[in-house]
């Protein structure tokens, strides 16, 4: 190669993607008798100790609804009727980006058990401000505070 001639092969290569990975998640807003089911994240997990809406990571080829039904069965042992998509949020954290699909759900059977989470509880709309949630849930939390029709 002639030193006076620039090496075009180096500039034509795409730059490596250094952005954090995107995790796709399905989460359920499970309502029963005017209360909403929330779970606590394990202390050693990403955002450990915060409260969240139950759900989990989508498997390759899995629909978000199928993911949600599977995750609620694995995490809490419950069966739900998954309803409409209420919100979709993409939020960047320093180490990863999450894309969360929030579905309205109705509890159908089996009492929740902490199978895949350290703790769960049913809360009222008035209780929601007393719990710390991940930043990705902020917009949804505000909406829940002002949407009494969801809690019926």
> CA-CA distance, 31 to 141, in Å (whole number)?
14
Mean pLDDT per 10-residue run, the chain (152 residues)? 50 64 95 96 91 96 97 97 94 91 95 96 96 94 93 86
What's the pTM? 0.84
Name every residue whose Cβ is closer than 8 Å to that of residue 65 and which is 6 or more positions away in sequence: 26, 82, 103
> CA-CA distance, 8 to 95, in Å (whole number)?
33
Structural domain spans, the chain? 21-142
Instruction: Specify the pLDDT at position 17.
Output: 58
Q: Which fold has domain 21-142?
A: Nucleoside Triphosphate Pyrophosphohydrolase (3.90.79)
Kindly report each contact of residues 81-88 with a partner whose C-beta sits within 8 Å and lies 24 or more positions away, as own/partner: 81/105, 81/106, 81/108, 82/28, 86/29, 86/140, 86/143, 87/139, 87/140, 87/143
Task: Residue count of the chain, please give it.
Answer: 152
């Amino acid at each position: 190669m002639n030193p006076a001639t620039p090496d075009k092969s180096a500039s034509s290569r795409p730059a490596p993607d250094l952005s954090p990975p995107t995790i796709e998640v399905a989460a359920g807003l499970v309502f029963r008798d005017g209360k909403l089911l929330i779970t606590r994240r394990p202390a050693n997990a990403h955002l450990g100790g915060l409260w969240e809406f139950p759900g989990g990571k989508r498997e390759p080829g899995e629909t978000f609804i199928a993911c949600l039904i599977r995750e609620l069965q694995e995490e809490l042992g419950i069966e739900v009727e998954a309803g409409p998509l209420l919100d979709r949020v993409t939020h960047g954290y320093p180490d990863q980006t999450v894309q969360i699909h929030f579905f309205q759900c109705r509890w159908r059977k089996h009492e929740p058990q902490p199978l895949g989470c350290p703790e769960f509880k049913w809360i009222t709309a008035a209780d929601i401000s007393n719990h710390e949630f991940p930043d990705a849930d902020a917009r949804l939390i505000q909406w829940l505070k002002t949407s009494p029709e969801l809690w019926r």
